């Protein structure tokens, strides 16, 4: 119990220190009044480097947790679990980052449609309108140069837009290409078509946001289920038992640990699959 209390105190101190380091008001005051000198600036630079490293490689935060549990339980099993957890957490973080990029790209495509409509109604030609809107929207990703070049020099703008639509979250550019092709071939109004496309894209975004809000309770249930074993270990330690020693140093405890870990993994996978199926279009 004394070890647990000491560890909790150390963690609280580290959390407080990180909070102070992240506070923009403290950093602004240090910059204005010169408090700290070169030594503090050096320490601040080191702290910034550490924060940047962990912001880009957050999966490695599993390592200190595994080391702490290995020391507390006097076993190498938490270290092995940490080695397995790092690539799994990295994969989950990459999937979440990719989903965020897709959402930002979809929003940028809708903004691009609105910007092109505004430029067209201001009297610009379609190619000029796409050039003016594309520079500001930045929604075309790596294919932006090809699309803008096609618009500038009279190339195949619909083909370039269809090629750009293959990027993550850029499916709406295929609709822009279709509107462009219809406007060029059939003489239909490009501004009207892009205006309707923008409305459809924003309606789809609102639908996803509403669905995500409705599924927030289900995701909360999944998180609670994931944390229940940790809460159980904490309650056992608070009651004076030694759950880590029982789980890591006895045959029955190892059987319970492996069985519980498999059941926990299966339950989380199944619950997450159900919620993701609800989020699918």
Which of 142, 176, 205 is the endpoint of a domain?
205
From 180, 205, 230, the end of a domain falls on 205
* Judgement on whether residues 156 and 244 belong to the same structural domain of the protein: no
Do 163 and 257 lie in a common domain? no
DSSP for 92-147, written as a single string: HHHHHHHHHHHHHHHHHHHHHHHHHHHHHHTT--HHHHHHHHHHHH--SGGGHHHH
Q: Is residue 194 part of a domain?
A: yes
Q: Are residues 237 and 154 in the same domain?
A: no
Q: Are residues 106 and 185 in the same domain?
A: yes
Residue where a domain terminates, one of 175, 205, 235: 205
Mean pLDDT by 10 residues, the chain (281 residues): 42 44 44 46 56 67 83 83 86 87 86 87 84 68 72 82 83 88 73 89 88 83 83 85 84 88 85 76 59
User: What local confidence, expressed as pLDDT, does residue 186 receive?
Assistant: 59
Instruction: Please indicate, yes or no, if residue 167 is contained in any of the structural domains.
Output: yes
Residues 109 and 158 in one domain: yes
Residue-level pLDDT at 277? 79
Residue 201 and residue 106 share a domain: yes
Is 256 found in the same domain as 185?
A: no
Same domain, 264 and 168: no
Q: How far is CA 167 from CA 59, 121, 143, 234, in A?
A: 26, 29, 9, 46
pLDDT of residue 38: 46
My answer on whether 195 and 112 are in the same domain is: yes
Shared-domain flag, residues 244 and 273: yes
pLDDT at 138: 58
In a domain, 25, yes or no: no
168 within some domain: yes
Number of domains within the chain:
2
pLDDT, residue 151, reads 78
Question: Which 3-state string (H, E, C) describes 68-98?
Answer: HHHHHHCCCHHHHHHHHHHHHHHHHHHHHHH
Q: For residues 118 and 189, state if they share a domain.
A: yes
Residue 162 is part of which domain span?
Answer: 101-205
User: Is residue 123, in this structure, part of any structural domain at all?
Assistant: yes
- The confidence score (pLDDT) of residue 6 equals 41
Helix axes 62-73, 2-22, angle to 10 degrees: 160
């Amino acid at each position: 119990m004394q070890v647990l209390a000491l560890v909790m105190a150390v963690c609280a101190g580290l959390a407080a220190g990180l909070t102070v380091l992240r506070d923009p008001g403290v950093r602004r005051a240090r910059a204005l009044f010169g408090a700290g000198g070169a030594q503090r600036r050096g320490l601040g630079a080191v702290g910034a480097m550490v924060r940047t490293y962990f912001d880009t490689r957050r999966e490695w935060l599993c390592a200190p947790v595994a080391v702490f549990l290995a020391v507390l339980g006097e076993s190498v099993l938490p270290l092995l679990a940490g080695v397995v957890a790092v690539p799994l957490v990295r994969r989950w973080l990459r999937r979440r980052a990719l989903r965020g990029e897709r959402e930002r790209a979809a929003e940028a495509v809708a903004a691009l449609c609105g910007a092109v409509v505004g430029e067209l109604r201001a009297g610009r030609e379609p190619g000029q309108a796409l050039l003016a809107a594309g520079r500001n929207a930045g929604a075309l990703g790596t294919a932006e140069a090809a699309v803008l070049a096609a618009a500038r020099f009279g190339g195949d703008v619909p083909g370039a837009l269809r090629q750009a639509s293959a990027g993550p979250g850029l499916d709406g550019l295929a609709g822009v290409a279709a509107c462009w092709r219809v406007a060029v071939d059939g003489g239909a109004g490009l501004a009207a078509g892009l205006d309707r496309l923008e409305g459809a894209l924003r309606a789809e975004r609102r639908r996803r946001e509403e669905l995500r809000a409705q599924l927030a309770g289900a995701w909360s249930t999944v998180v609670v289920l994931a944390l229940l074993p940790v809460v159980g270990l904490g309650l056992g330690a608070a009651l004076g038992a030694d759950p880590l020693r029982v789980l890591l140093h006895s045959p029955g405890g190892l059987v319970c640990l492996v069985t519980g870990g498999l059941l926990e993994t299966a339950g989380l996978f199944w619950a997450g699959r159900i919620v993701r199926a609800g989020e699918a279009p």
